[in-house]
Structure 1
Amino acid sequence: MSSSLKLNYVEFPASDIPATKLFLEKAFGWSFQDFGPDYSAFSDQGLDGGFYQSELTSVASNGSALLVLKSNDLEHTQSVIESAGGKISAPIFSFPGGRRFHFIEPSGNEFAVWCLMST
């Protein structure tokens, strides 16, 4: 077995793939490649992945992995997410070494954004 295996791809359920794509395009400038009406992939975002048609959601409180994006300006990023239609599910809080918040995208999946603690 190779010890150089690394995370390469992540998949999320999405009840409304067009709304999820529009949100991520507006909030972060992501682009997508569709593979039929029930799957859309993204790449070059630190980790490639995709959204598949499903009524399920990926939420950390239900045991799902939480993907965390990094920002240099947490308040600005939160504002952009809210303007694009994201819902803040955990307001900005501090933890050792940084600060973060959680948000829900239009299909109900939870993500987080963090930044280094200001010095």
Structure 2
Amino acid sequence: FYGKAFGWSFKDYGPSYCEFNDGRLTGGFALGGQSKAAGGPLVILYADKLDETQRRVEAASGKIVKPAYSFPGGRRFHFTDPDGYELAVWSEK
């Protein structure tokens, strides 16, 4: 999903961890429990072209849960990935 939606590349380090890279930032995903408790941290990604990014998220099977809206400093939308985790994407005005 994240490769298709955001163009990230991945490197596996066994069955429970993989590294991602977007060309500027490297991070990781670890396999954890299946609990997705409400009220956890919201990961917010940045995109230069918010509308284009939203289309890519939807094409990669992400679900828009809060359509793009304005807030002080820009615009953003919220989505859930195919595993049900909620993230957001923002862009400057």
- Structure in which a larger fraction of residues adopt strand: 2
Secondary structure in structure 1 of the residue aligned to 2:5? helix
Tell me the TM-score normalized by structure 1: 0.68
Aligned partners of 1:67, 1:48: CA distance in 2, in Å? 15
Q: Deviation above 6 Å: which 4+ runs of structure 1?
A: none
Q: Percent identity?
A: 50
Distance in 1, Cα, partners of 2:25 & 2:35: 21
Aligned residues: 92
Gaps in structure 2 of 5+ consecutive residues = none
2:3 is aligned with 1:25: yes
Q: One-letter code of the match for 1:78?
A: Q
- Of residues 34, 46, 56, the one that matches 1:55 is 34
Q: Which has the higher helix share?
A: 1
Q: Which amino acid aligns with 2:34?
A: E
Aligned to 2:17: 39
Q: Which has the larger Rg? A: 1
Structure 1: give runs of 5+ residues left out of the alignment. 1-22
